[in-house]
A and B are shown apart, each in its own frame.
Chain A
């Protein structure tokens, strides 16, 4: 069964705009990770945020974590056509990673 649920399921924006994706989960976590998957390819790790962290940055990515609400958000700033992909959150709590269903992001040039 899948723990995380990403929202929205699909998102379409213009190049240069910011994209925000949300992830909600059900149980306690040690870490929450975000991965990207280009169509028909494997997943690429983007960022890991630990349960005692509230915000983390990596380049154009900003991740927040609210453990009281059991939710996380991924912000991609100044989006590019190459950001078009599916984005998954994954959680773990002394267990293997459990992935959500993903958000499909389309960035239109």
Chain B
């Protein structure tokens, strides 16, 4: 069964460093999402792509976060510089028709 791939699974970094997360969606899924999930909370959308175009990045802290999906397939989310409050689980999801989303295993980030 096709799955969304994410790497790394865990990342520990020091504040002010740069970090990057990678996501490979299910083949053929045009829509890709990046979420941030703080412990004990539900996921919150950071950015949504339709193919290579950003559809919604209203909740993305653009002073330090950036996301790209250059060829409309895999995607990278970057944080520079990382802050203590960025410690969270970063989830990637994809969908084909915009309803059911399929999630990857997530990247757990710890900023020290």
- Contact residues of A with B, CB < 8 Å? 2, 4, 31, 33, 35, 40-45, 48, 88, 90, 96-102
Contacts and interface: CB of A to CB of B under 8 A. Distances in A.
Contacts of B44: 2, 99
B91 A42 contact: yes
B4 A96 contact: no
8 contacts: A4-B42, A40-B108, A41-B105, A42-B4, A42-B91, A43-B43, A43-B103, A97-B45
* Interface hub of A2, A45, A96 (most chain B Cβ within 10 A): A96
Please classify how large the interface on chain B is, using the bins under 10, 10 to 19, 20 to 34, 35 or more: 20 to 34
A90 B33 CA distance: 15
Interface stretch (B13-21, B68-76, B94-102): B94-102
B103 A44 contact: yes
B30 to A, nearest CB: 14
Nearest to B47: A96
A48 B42 contact: no
Nearest to B33: A96
Nearest to B6: A42
A45 B100 contact: yes
B87 interface: no
Nearest to B41: A101
Given A42-B106, A88-B43, 18 more contacts: A2-B42, A4-B42, A31-B99, A40-B89, A41-B105, A42-B93, A42-B105, A43-B91, A43-B93, A43-B103, A44-B103, A48-B99, A48-B100, A88-B42, A90-B42, A96-B56, A102-B41, A102-B42
